Amino acid sequence: MHERMDALLQSAELLIEDFDIHIRNEMQTYNRILPNYVMSYVKKGEAKLRVRSEVYNLTPGTAVIIPPNVQHDHYMANKEETTFLWCHFTYKIGNAIDVMKIINFPITFKLQNSEIFERVFIEFKNLTSSENFLIKTILKRAKSYELLYLLMNNIMSAQEEVYEQEHSKGFICMLNQIVKNPESELSLKELSKKFHLHPTYISNRFKELFGKSPIQVQRELKIDRAKKLLKSTELSVSEIAKEVGIPTVPNFTRLFKNYVGIAPSQFRNLNAKWNDKYTAM
């Protein structure tokens, strides 16, 4: 099981979209909903968090991870100075699978490595002021994954038994197969033969575990791969279509437009113009 998860995690990409360190004497944030994960860590002071009907008391050393599109309140009950380290992030495979959904993580938990986490977060934040391009791109990326590791190490060690129950080996193996070879032909009938499960059960259970059906995951992985090839190579649209396992250009264009909203050639042109503008700055 761990080998299969390792393969999946190697395919995942972490994107920290916003972050900071805030020192507050008051905070009254209610009914907030964000499209990404919210990580908040209390370094000093106290705060409260409401998610659905549950209210959590947050004390120093407590980390919070709130899933996307979940309404929550984050507030302080007193005016004691409180220090928060926070970030908004996504952790996905090919922009198709939310890796955090695979892990049965709690909303709040105590960090056993809090001093290390605080140090790494501060190092990550300080990198934004560096003028060295290599430091900004490479070291900052490395530090972001170190932060994720420190969080996940706490979660996985405490939640391993629940994790094993919620995700059977067969479905993790199924997901691995799709992630490794999204260009290959895929059908519920073939998955049914290979894993000895009814096609309807496969579709329903896969969607329950990972949020999408096997076919939908494969299509989104194809589109994600196509977008990267359109932006980073000079391959023709027909060559890219074959590369992602779609034999005809009309079918590829139709699928691409369904997911992206524009044709592959338009997508390439728009990104080329953006890159030219960025290079000229």
Q: Given this model, what pLDDT does residue 165 score?
A: 47
Of the chain, the end-to-end C-alpha distance in Å amounts to 48
Identity of the residue numbered 83 = T
Domain layout of the chain by residue ranges: 12-166, 171-280
pLDDT value of position 277: 46
Which pLDDT does position 160 carry in this prediction?
A: 52
CB atoms within 10 A of CB 60: 15
pLDDT tens digits along 183-196: 999 999 999 999 99
Confidence at residue 102, expressed as pLDDT on a 0 to 100 scale: 83
Distance CA 240, CA 233 (A): 9
Pair 151, 107: CB distance under 8 Å: no
| Whole-number pLDDT of residue 274 | 57
Class of domain 12-166: mainly beta
Task: Encode pLDDT of 24-57 as tens digits.
Answer: 999 999 999 999 999 999 999 999 999 989 999 9
- Tens of pLDDT, residue by residue over 221-242, are 999 999 999 999 999 999 999 9
- Cα 223 off chain centre by: 17
Residue 158 pLDDT: 60
The residue ranges of the chain whose pLDDT is under 70 are 1-4, 157-168, 273-281
Chosen CATH of 171-280 out of 1.10.10.60, 3.30.365.10, 2.30.40.10, 1.10.1040.10: 1.10.10.60
Rounded Cα distance between 5 and 100, Å, is: 12
Helix H or strand E encompassing 90: strand 82-93
